[in-house]
C-alpha cells in the first residue's frame, strides 16, 4: 500500500528547501558586486531584485515550516530535486531581466544548463552581455559542479541528520572524509584553491595574448569555473575558438581533466598518495576510453580529409573529444562544422565519449567510468565462470581507493543507471527527430544535454521549438541528479494522488 504524504512531510521538505533558497540568494550577491564594480547598475539591480525575492521566499518557508523532525530518505531526495528546479527559476529570472533572452523559458534553459554544468546556451548577443550576467552564468556552473546542496551542507547545515540524505540525493554517494559536512567543505577547499591557480594561469595567458588586464583575468576566472566544473560556458559566443591560443587550449584541457577526477582521488593526491592516480579503476578506464575513442575520431577525420595537417587534426579532434568525454563542452570549432565537416565515424566517437563521461563524485555527467569499470569486471567474471571448471572459485576485485570485492548489488546499480542514461539519450533523440532533425544530429544534441556536456552541432538555438527546449531542460536535470531524486519526486506526486 502506498502511503499518502502528510502535512509534516510537506513542512519538512519546505523547511530545508527554504534554507537552501536562502543560501542561493546570498550567492546572487557575487554578480551584484561585479555589476557595481564595473558600473553596470541596471545589471546589479537585476540580482538585487532576484536575490530579494529568493531570500524572502526562503525565509517564509523556514518560518512557516520550522520543525525539529528528522528528514527521511524520501524527503531528502525530494528536497534535492526541487532545489534544482527552484534554482533554475530564481537564476533564470535574473538573466531574463538582462534582455538577452527571447523568453523566460530561454533564461531558465540557460540557468539549468549552468547549474547542471551542461553549457548549451540560448543567450542572444552574448558578446555584449554585461559582466555581471556573464559572471552569474559561470557562477551557476561553479555552484552546480560542486552541487547546490553542497553549498547548504558547507555553510548552512550543522550536524543535520538529513545532511547525508541530501548529499546522496545530489548523485554523490561517496564521502571523502567520515563526516558529510566535512566532505562538502573539502570539496569547496579543492575548488577554491584550483580557482585561484586557474584564474592566474588563464589570466596570464590572456595577458600574453594581448588582452587587457581586467578582461584577461575576468575571462580567466570565468573560463576556469566552466572548465573545472566541466561546464562549457565562455564569455564569448565563439567559445574557446575566440582566444586562438594553443596555450589556452592546453591549459583548459588540464582544467577539464582535473574536473573529471573523483574528489576522493583529489584527496588521495593532496595527502601524498599519488600512486592512486595510476592504480584507480576510474582513472585507468578514463585513459583507455579517451585513447580508443581518439583513434576513431582521428580515423574518421583522416578519411574525410577535414584537416590538412596532422597537427591540426590532433588539436581539433583531441580537444573536442576530451571536452566531450570530461563533460565540459568547450569547442574550438563552430557548431555547424560537426555536421558539415566531420565524418559520421568521428561524430559517433564523440557521442560515445559524451555518453560515458568522467568519474563519479566529480563535476562531470554521463554514465561515469566507475560504472563502466564495474560492468567490464562483471562481464569478465561471468566469462571466467563459463570457461573455467565448475569447481573453480572466481573472485573478482577492483581497485577504487582500496581493493573492493565485486558484488551483485554493485553490478545491478551500475547497469540500472547505465540503462537509464541510454534511454534518456534515445528519448531525446526521438524528440529531436520529431522536429525533423537527422538521427545522428538529434542523438548528438540529446546526449550532450542528458550527459551534461554542452557540445552542440547547431540544434540548440533560441529559435528551436519550446517542446525541444523543455526536453533538454528535463534531460539536463535528470542527468545531473542521476535519476534517483527524480524518481523519488515522481513517486511523491504519485503517492499524493493515489496514496491512502
Query: 221-248, pLDDT tens digit by residue?
Result: 999 999 998 888 999 999 999 999 999 9
Look up cell 524572502; give the residue: 56
Q: Which cell numbers in the block locate residue 273?
A: 598518495
pLDDT value for 478: 92
Question: Rounded mean pLDDT of 428-436?
Answer: 96
Euclidean distance between CA atoms 404 and 395, whole angstroms: 11
- Is 86 inside any structural domain? yes
Q: At what angle do helices 263-270 and 180-208 cross, to 10 degrees?
A: 80
Residue 320 has pLDDT above 70, yes or no: yes
Q: Report the distance separating Cα 399 and Cα 373, nearest Å.
A: 10
Q: Is residue 59 part of a domain?
A: yes
Residues 153/166, Cβ–Cβ less than 8 Å: yes
Per the domain annotation, does 154 fall within a domain?
yes
Label residue 174 by pLDDT band (50, 70, 90): low
Angle at 303 between CA 299 and CA 307, to 5 degrees: 90
Give the SS3 label for residue 402: strand
Instruction: Pinpoint the alpha helices (H) of 173-280.
Output: 180-208, 213-228, 246-259, 263-270, 276-279
* 1: in domain: yes
pLDDT at residue 1, rounded to an integer: 47
Task: Indicate whether 255 belongs to any domain.
Answer: no
- What is the enclosing helix (H) or strand (E) of 398? strand 397-400
pLDDT of 393 > 70? The answer is: no
**Across the chain, what does the average pLDDT equal?**
86
Cell numbers describing residue 102: 527571447
Phi, psi (rounded to 5 degrees) for 403: -75, 130
Task: Give pLDDT, residue 439.
Answer: 95
> Does the pLDDT at position 32 exceed 70?
yes
User: Do 369 and 287 contact (CB within 8 A), yes or no?
Assistant: no
C-alpha cell at 11: 513542512
The neighbour count for residue 31, using CB atoms within 10 Å, is: 30
- Angle in degrees, 0-180, between the axes of helices 104-115 and 466-481, rounded to the nearest 10: 20
The parent domain of residue 50 ranges over: 1-173+492-500
DSSP bridge pairs for 399? 403
Question: 32-36, 271-275, 407-411: which has the highest mean pLDDT?
Answer: 32-36
Helix, strand counts (H, E) of the chain: 22, 2
Q: What pLDDT does 169 receive?
A: 47
Residue with the bigger pLDDT between 333 and 157: it is 333
Tell me, yes or no, whether 483 lies in a domain: no
The answer to whether residue 194 is domain-embedded is no
State the total domains in the chain. Answer: 1
The residues, ordered by sequence, that sit 6+ positions from 134 with a Cβ below 8 Å of its Cβ are 218, 222, 235
Count Cβ neighbours within 10 Å for each residue of 312-331 and write b for 16 or more, e otherwise.
ebebbbbbbbbbbbbbbbbb
Reported as a single tens digit per residue, the pLDDT across 114-167 is: 999 999 999 999 999 999 999 999 999 988 877 766 665 555 554 444 554 554
Least confident of 210-219, 292-301, 378-387, 448-457: 378-387
> Does residue 119 lie in a domain region?
yes
Closest by CA to 164, choosing from 146, 143, 142, 182, is 182
pLDDT for residue 154: 53
What pLDDT, on a 0 to 100 scale, did the predictor assign at position 172?
54
Q: What is the pLDDT of residues 44-77, one digit of tens each?
A: 999 999 999 999 999 999 888 887 777 777 777 8
- Strand, helix or coil for residue 405: strand
Q: Is the pLDDT of residue 186 over 80?
A: no
Q: What pLDDT shows up at residue 3? A: 62
Amino acid at each position: 500500500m502506498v502511503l499518502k504524504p502528510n502535512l509534516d512531510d510537506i513542512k519538512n521538505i519546505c523547511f530545508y528547501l527554504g534554507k537552501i533558497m536562502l543560501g542561493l540568494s546570498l550567492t546572487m550577491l557575487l554578480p551584484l558586486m561585479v555589476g557595481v564594480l564595473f558600473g553596470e547598475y541596471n545589471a546589479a539591480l537585476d540580482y538585487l531584485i532576484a536575490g530579494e525575492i529568493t531570500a524572502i521566499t526562503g525565509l517564509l518557508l523556514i518560518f512557516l515550516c520550522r520543525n525539529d523532525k528528522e528528514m527521511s530518505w524520501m524527503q531528502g531526495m525530494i528536497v534535492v530535486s526541487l532545489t534544482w528546479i527552484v534554482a533554475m527559476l530564481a537564476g533564470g529570472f535574473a538573466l531574463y531581466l538582462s534582455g538577452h533572452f527571447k523568453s523566460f523559458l530561454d533564461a531558465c534553459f540557460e540557468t539549468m544548463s549552468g547549474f547542471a554544468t551542461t553549457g548549451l546556451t540560448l543567450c542572444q548577443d552574448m558578446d555584449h552581455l554585461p559582466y555581471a550576467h556573464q559572471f552569474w552564468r559561470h557562477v551557476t556552473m561553479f555552484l552546480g559542479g560542486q552541487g547546490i546542496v553542497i553549498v547548504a551542507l558547507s555553510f548552512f547545515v550543522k550536524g543535520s541528520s538529513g545532511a547525508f540524505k541530501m548529499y546522496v540525493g545530489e548523485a554523490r554517494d561517496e564521502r571523502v572524509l567520515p563526516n558529510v559536512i566535512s566532505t562538502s567543505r573539502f570539496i569547496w577547499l579543492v575548488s577554491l584553491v584550483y580557482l585561484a591557480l586557474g584564474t592566474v594561469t588563464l589570466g596570464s595567458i590572456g595577458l600574453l595574448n594581448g588582452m587587457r588586464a581586467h578582461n584577461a583575468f575576468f575571462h580567466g576566472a570565468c573560463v576556469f569555473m566552466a572548465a573545472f566544473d566541466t561546464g562549457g560556458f565562455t564569455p564569448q559566443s565563439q567559445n574557446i575558438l575566440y582566444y586562438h591560443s594553443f596555450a589556452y587550449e592546453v591549459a583548459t584541457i588540464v582544467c577539464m581533466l582535473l574536473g573529471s577526477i573523483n574528489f576522493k582521488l583529489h584527496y588521495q593526491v593532496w595527502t601524498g598518495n599519488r600512486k592512486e592516480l595510476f592504480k584507480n579503476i576510474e582513472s585507468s578506464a578514463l585513459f583507455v576510453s579517451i585513447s580508443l575513442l581518439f583513434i576513431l575520431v582521428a580515423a574518421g577525420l583522416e578519411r574525410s580529409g577535414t584537416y590538412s595537417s596532422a597537427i591540426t587534426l590532433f588539436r581539433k579532434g583531441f580537444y573536442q573529444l576530451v571536452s566531450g568525454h570530461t563533460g565540459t563542452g568547450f569547442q574550438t570549432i563552430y557548431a555547424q562544422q560537426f555536421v558539415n565537416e566531420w565524418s559520421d565515424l568521428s561524430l559517433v566517437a564523440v557521442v560515445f565519449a559524451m555518453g560515458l563521461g568522467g568519474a563519479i563524485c566529480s563535476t562531470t555527467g554521463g554514465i561515469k567510468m566507475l560504472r563502466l569499470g564495474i560492468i567490464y569486471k562483471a562481464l569478465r567474471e561471468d566469462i571466467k565462470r563459463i570457461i573455467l571448471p565448475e569447481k573453480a572459485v572466481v573472485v573478482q576485485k577492483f581497485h577504487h581507493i582500496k581493493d573492493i570485492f565485486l558484488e551483485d548489488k554493485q553490478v545491478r546499480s551500475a547497469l540500472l543507471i547505465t540503462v537509464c542514461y541510454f534511454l534518456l539519450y534515445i528519448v531525446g533523440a526521438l524528440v529531436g527527430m520529431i522536429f525533423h532533425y537527422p538521427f545522428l544530429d538529434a542523438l548528438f544534441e540529446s546526449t550532450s544535454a542528458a550527459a551534461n556536456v554542452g557540445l552542440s552541432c547547431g540544434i540548440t538555438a533560441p529559435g528551436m521549438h519550446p517542446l525541444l527546449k523543455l526536453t533538454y531542460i528535463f534531460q539536463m536535470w535528470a542527468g545531473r541528479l542521476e535519476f534517483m531524486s527524480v524518481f523519488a519526486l515522481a513517486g511523491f506526486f504519485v503517492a499524493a494522488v493515489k496514496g491512502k
